[in-house]
Structure 1
Amino acid sequence: MLQILHNPRCGKSRDCLAFTTKTNTPFEIINYLENPLTVDDLKLLIKKLKIKPIELVRQKETIWIENYKGKSLTNAQIIKALAKHSILIERPIVIDGDNAIIGRDLEKLELFIK
């Protein structure tokens, strides 16, 4: 079963949810703002996404700009920032077993679900 890391206030996240619903693919919604990911959860997620930690960061968020932008951060520091401030995590994220995708692009999402 797919898992979707979802932020109900995000239009792209709502679009992903609507698209996935139309495909009749079973999924579980994880509201990661209410149930924040741990450092270990984030490490595993980054591995599944096959990206660098900085690629998971919403770098235009005020929290990032005010606290982290322009600083030389290690991957571990970036992951700790994501764990501390869940709003910084790119969304939506669709997880299927050992693979995951940031589901902002519905065409890529469609290929991933198939």
Structure 2
Amino acid sequence: MITIYHNPKCRKSRAGLEYLKAKGVEFEIREYIREGITVEELRSMIDKLGIKPSELVRTQEDYYKENYRGKTLNDEAWLEALAAYPRLIRRPVIVKDNRAVLADPPERTDKLGI
């Protein structure tokens, strides 16, 4: 199963969604900002991406600049922050089975064999 963690207001996320549609594959859309996201979901996503939680943070987001810039957080604190304020999550994230990519640009999705 393929899942796209999607923000419909984000141009890059919409591009990732259109890329999947153009591939003609079945996928699930997970609107994580509207629906919320758990620490466990984030932990699984980060494991599949092969990155640290801090690497999933959108540092250009105003909320990040106002609350986190210049601070050193451990992995668990970043997971809590991302779950509490999901707009901080870089997007789109596309997951297929036990692997995932940050699909910016959308062609990175090809690394998943889609």
Common fold: TM-score over 0.5: yes
1:39 corresponds to 2:48: no
Where structure 2 has 5 or more consecutive residues not aligned to the other structure, the ranges are none
3-state SS in 2 of match to 1:33? helix
Unaligned runs of 5+ in 1: none
SS in structure 1 of the partner of residue 100 of structure 2: strand
The normalised TM-score by structure 1 is 0.95
1:3-82 → structure 2 map (5 Å cutoff)? 3-82=3-82
Quote the Cα distance in structure 2 between the aligned partners of 1:65 and 1:3.
29
Residue 84 in structure 1 maps to residue 84 in structure 2: yes
Question: What RMSD in Å do the two structures reach over aligned CA positions?
Answer: 1.0
Q: TM-score, normalised by structure 2?
A: 0.95
Structure 1, 71-80 or 101-110: larger mean CA deviation:
101-110
User: Sequence identity, in percent?
Assistant: 38
Runs of 4+ in 1 over 2 A off after TM superposition: 110-114
CA contact (8 A) 2:54 2:75 kept: yes
- How far off its partner does 1:110 sit? 2.5
Number of positions where the alignment pairs a residue of Structure 1 with one of Structure 2: 114
